[in-house]
Amino acid sequence: MIDRRTFLELAAASGAAALWPASESRASVPAGASAHKPRSILVLGGTNFVGPAVVERARERGHEVTLFNRGITRPELFPGLEKLRGERGARSSILTALGRTRRWDAVIDTWPEQSALVGHTAEALADRTDYYFFVSSIAVYRDFSRPGLDESAAIHRDDPGWYGGEKVLAEELVASRFADRSGIARCHAIVGPRDTGAAFHYWLRRLATRSEVLAPGSGDDPLQLLDVRDLGAWIVDCIEQRRSGVHNLCGPPETPTLRQVLETCREALDSDARLTWVDADFLRRDHGVQSFTDLPLWAPLDEDAGFYGVDGRKAARAGAVFRPLALTARDAWLWFRSHFFKDTAFPVGGLGLAPDREAELLEAWRAHG
């Protein structure tokens, strides 16, 4: 079984493939005011899932972007940008790669899973940038038994070595080096174009290719999803506003139900698939079906009432904008079909029901009456 901790680790490992066409990206970016004074921005990484969304948004807003990475993951992306090559393993190697006198208005740090890497970079750049933004995760929170977790909720202190604990340490390192001049986004499940994770794709593929889809429970369980492009827009806006502090980024403040998400995705894909809602206890107790593992993204309220109840109102009040889920589903499915998962058979990466298993469960449910 994949528990919540493992799911968050797998979600964070989602990478990216080829660059999403600029015309598609611009078509669904929320409208905003013209850019402020152009900033010089150093993006650490920049060619994985979150990175390209940040880079594209920064360029749309007129900022000057430099990438710092090893040149291993899709080095062909963004051919017109300055690219500095190097490792983040030590302060000296970072300084050698970046030059000892270079400065940037802002630095964006997207998904390192080792807090030590964040520490090395923050130390090296402490006097060479005015603002540092770090992408964290809701995995930092200790207890999901109740909904309403806001930024003051208890976190995994003194728990290094796993994804959530390392994110906590990284947040603390950033805050210690950039007090009052850093921003941190604690993100929930990030989806959209370039998402190589299997969870969201499981549902899109089922809805687009099958006539009947097994859906778990009553459909009333909540589901929080964040479009990667909305995260990119938020990060760039934080740089422009010099917005400091921690914000939960979890998608729209009004959390949709699983039924609303699947129905919206079905309509966005112009699918005539029929959703068959199967009792949660019938699935879990009688047939050993596991939430998250067999049915990705499903978090029944009686298991973790607060997992999809994270409070994102602070970010919304500060100006976070979230596009309609239908656009996210449409664009993600276009990308999946063009770049990834074209011939994938589920389960993949430990997630999803095999088609034969799904058919058996649907038949058993009909026999159950």
pLDDT at position 159, please? 84
Query: Residue 286: which domain range?
Result: 199-222+256-304+326-368
Residue 139: predicted pLDDT: 96
Q: Are residues 277 and 359 in the same domain?
A: yes
- The confidence band for 12, taking pLDDT boundaries of 50, 70 and 90, is low
pLDDT at res. 57: 98
- What does the DSSP assignment read for 105-167? SEEEE---S-HHHHHHHHHHHTTTBS-EEEEEEGGGBS--SSS-B-TTS-B-TT-TTSHHHHH
Cβ proximity of 198 and 349 under 8 Å: yes
Exposure string of 76-109, with b = 16+ CB inside 10 Å and e = fewer, is ebbeeeeeeeeebeeeeebbebbeeeeebbbbbb
What are the counts of helices (DSSP H) followed by strands (DSSP E) for the chain? 14, 11
321 in any annotated domain = no
Under the banding of pLDDT at 50, 70 and 90, the label for residue 171 is very high
Does 129 lie in the same domain as 203? Answer: no
Within this chain, do residues 266 and 167 fall inside the same structural domain, yes or no? no
In sequence order, the 6+-apart residues with CB closer than 8 A to the CB of 204 are: 265, 269, 329, 332, 333, 336
Predicted pLDDT of residue 7: 56
> Residue 90 gets which letter from DSSP?
-
Tell me what pLDDT residue 27 has: 36
Evaluate if residue 33 carries a pLDDT over 90. Answer: no
Co-location of 179 and 285 in the same domain: no
> Which percentage of the chain shows pLDDT scores above 70?
89
Asked if residue 74 and residue 188 are part of one domain, the reply reads: yes
Q: Are residues 41 and 141 in the same domain?
A: yes
Dump pLDDT digits (tens) for 250-270: 999 899 999 999 999 999 999
* Number of independent structural domains in the chain: 2
pLDDT at position 23 over 90: no
List pLDDT tens digits, range 35-82: 479 999 999 999 989 999 999 999 999 999 999 999 888 889 999 999
Q: What are phi and psi of 286, to 5 degrees?
A: -85, -25
Query: Minimal CA–CA distance to 216: which of 98, 314, 302?
Result: 302
Place of tokens 């699935």: 283
User: What's the CATH number where 275 sits?
Assistant: 3.90.25
Identify which has the larger pLDDT, 74 or 343: 74
Band (28; pLDDT cuts 50, 70, 90): very low
Residue 354 in this model has a pLDDT that exceeds 70: yes
* pLDDT tens column, 198-244: 999 999 999 999 999 999 999 999 999 999 999 999 999 999 999 99
Closest CA to 221 of 130, 284, 163, 172: 284
Question: Are residues 34 and 47 part of one domain?
Answer: yes
Give the model's confidence band at 22: pLDDT under 50 very low, under 70 low, under 90 confident, else very high. Answer: very low
Residue with tokens 């929080």: 224
pLDDT of 16: 33
Q: Same domain for 59 and 124? A: yes
| Per-residue pLDDT, 138 | 97
The model's pLDDT over 279-319, given as tens digits with 9 standing for 90+, comes to 999 999 999 999 999 999 999 999 999 999 999 999 999 99
Tens of pLDDT, residues 94-118: 888 998 889 999 999 997 889 999 9
Closest CA to 333 of 178, 204, 145: 204
